[in-house]
């Protein structure tokens, strides 16, 4: 017998199973068709307004508790300024001139006049001290703020590469 004789027709040979061709409804545990559910309203308008007001108050309270960042500080710009100008001496937060004067939080607290603050870092970058040159004639005010924010945030998070 030939292959064609064994099959009734080419059409039947490639027909997908019927279950794949027709849509079915979901069934419940007992096997009965289940209709799609409509969403149920869970909060009245007054409850929703109360919840929104509480969320807004909590957000405002949290904003008051968090330290504010300088409005013009830009972390990506600060990282770029750091990589272009500071890495000759401070690659990875280290110090290639005076080894113990790193950009780690503890070293900044110990050696920087004004301690571990963005303002103290800005002052150091602007005015220099000892072996560190002043950058105020090279970088503009925004670049100094940005790099100070970058150094502060990275040191605070212990984010310098090891």
Supply φ then ψ for residue 77, to 5 degrees. Answer: -65, -40
% of the chain beyond a pLDDT of 90:
52
- Residue length, the chain? 162
How crowded is the C-beta side of 13, counted as CA atoms within 13 Å?
8
Is 93-156 in CATH node 3.40.47.10?
no
Better-predicted residue by pLDDT, 28 or 86:
86
pTM assigned to the model:
0.56
Distance CA 35, CA 15 (A): 30
pLDDT of residue 111: 93
pLDDT band at 71 (very low <50, low <70, confident <90, very high): very low
pLDDT of residue 70: 44
Boundaries of every domain in the chain: 93-156
pLDDT at 113 over 80: yes
| Full DSSP string of 9-59 | -HHHHTPPPHHHHS----B-TTS-B-PPPPPPP-S-HHHHHHHHHHHHHHH
Residue pLDDT, tens place only, 1-56 = 444 444 544 555 555 555 444 445 555 556 666 665 555 555 566 776 676 666 66
């Amino acid at each position: 017998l030939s292959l064609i004789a064994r099959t009734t027709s080419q059409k039947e040979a490639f027909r997908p199973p019927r279950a794949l061709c027709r849509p079915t409804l979901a069934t419940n545990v007992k096997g009965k068709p289940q209709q799609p559910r409509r969403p149920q309203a869970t909060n009245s308008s007054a409850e929703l307004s109360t919840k929104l007001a509480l969320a807004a108050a909590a957000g405002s309270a949290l904003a008051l508790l968090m330290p504010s960042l300088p409005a013009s500080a830009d972390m990506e710009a600060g990282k770029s300024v750091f990589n272009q100008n500071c890495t000759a001496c401070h690659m990875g937060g280290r110090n290639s001139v005076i080894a113990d004067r790193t950009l780690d939080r503890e070293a900044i607290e110990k050696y920087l006049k004004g301690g571990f603050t963005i303002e103290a870092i800005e002052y150091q970058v602007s005015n220099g001290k000892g072996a560190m040159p002043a950058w105020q004639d090279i970088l503009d005010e925004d670049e100094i703020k940005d790099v100070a924010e970058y150094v502060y945030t990275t040191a605070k998070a212990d984010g310098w590469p090891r």
